[in-house]
Amino acid sequence: MNLTALRTIWIKECTRFLRIWVQTLVPPAITMTLYFIIFGNLIGQRIGEMGGVSYMEFIVPGLIMMSVITNAYSNVASSFFSAKFQRNIEEMLVSPVSTMTIILGYVGGGVARALIVAVVVTVVASFFVPLNIQHYGLIAITVILTATLFALGGLINAVFAKTFDDISIIPTFVLTPLTYLGGVFYSITLLPQFWQTVSQANPIIYMVNAFRYGFIGVSDINPWLALGVLMLFNAAFLAVAWTLLNRGVGIRS
């Protein structure tokens, strides 16, 4: 029963974003192309190297990770809130389907979209810079853990949201600042020691650096520490999401 339900929810979620692929998959490719042209080619030529590699190579992993974070989060936040708004999430909660199955189904859809977007952005990046990947396994683990984390974050946001406007608050006021301050465009070693220490409180620093290490073998953070932080956050977010759905927070009124 639970496996059938999990497959059904996952297929529904994938079908939802693939049906409108022009809105879900094309914009990230266009946005990242502009980033590569402006920050990579134009500004990168003036910066030269960073971390022992060209600036373009340095920012590629961060830009891919940025698209993964945004798409995993927005996919689940909008989809789950729509289900809550239309009152059909209540039917799932009273059906003989476990709470964990519902969570995994929605999160699986967000992860699927994030992975497809990651592939699209990587293909776009290959037209601007040669990709010499160092650790395929680390890249795969990091991107899956990151996509899962932000898909769970999107679900938690949707649980508390009361209107469609509420699901844009976290991306605007939390995710965007953390992403731009998360080492996507610079190495934190360039910062004064105090701000290096402060930056390590930003979880996106760990995701970007683990992913960058997988691509070019350069990282400001120990990649194993980064994976540990990612796993810890995933476990915490999963526990929070399960508790909220089990208690019917934001759903049963």
Task: Say how far residue 92 (Cα) sits from the centre of its chain.
Answer: 26
Task: For residue 76, give the H/E element and its range.
Answer: helix 55-85
Q: Which two tokens stand for residue 152?
A: 């769970």
Mean pLDDT (whole number) for 139-164? 93
- What's the CA angle centered on 12, arms 155 and 253, to 5 degrees? 45
Return mean pLDDT, the chain.
87
Mean pLDDT (whole number) for 114-135? 89
Tokens 């999107």 label which residue? 154
Q: What is the pLDDT of residue 166?
A: 80
Q: Which two tokens stand for residue 77?
A: 């936040």
The DSSP-derived string for 170-214 is HIIIIIHHHHHTTTSSS-GGGS-HHHHHHHTT-HHHHHHHHHHHH
Pairing, β 49-50 against β 53-54: antiparallel
Asked if the model's pLDDT at residue 253 lies above 60, the reply is no
Q: How many whole angstroms separate alpha carbon 36 and alpha carbon 129?
A: 9
Q: How confident is the model at residue 44 (pLDDT cuts 50, 70, 90)?
A: low
Q: How many whole angstroms separate alpha carbon 65 and alpha carbon 207?
A: 8
Asked if the model's pLDDT at residue 24 lies above 70, the reply is yes
What are the boundaries of each domain within the chain? 2-247
Asked if the model's pLDDT at residue 174 lies above 60, the reply is yes
Q: How confident is the model at residue 177 (pLDDT cuts 50, 70, 90)?
A: confident
In this predicted model, what pLDDT tens digit does every residue of 81-123 receive, in sequence order?
988 888 777 777 777 888 899 999 999 999 999 999 999 999 9
Q: What is the pLDDT of residue 1?
A: 57
In this predicted model, what pLDDT tens digit does every residue of 197-237 receive, in sequence order?
888 888 999 999 999 999 988 888 888 999 999 999 999 99
Count Cβ atoms within 10 A of the Cβ of residue 148 and give its class: 0-12 exposed, 13-18 middle, 19 or more buried: buried
Q: How confident is the model at residue 178 (pLDDT cuts 50, 70, 90)?
A: confident
Mean pLDDT (whole number) for 18-37? 87
Bridge partners for 50 per DSSP: 53
Query: Using an 8 Å Cβ cutoff, are 90 and 81 in contact?
Result: no
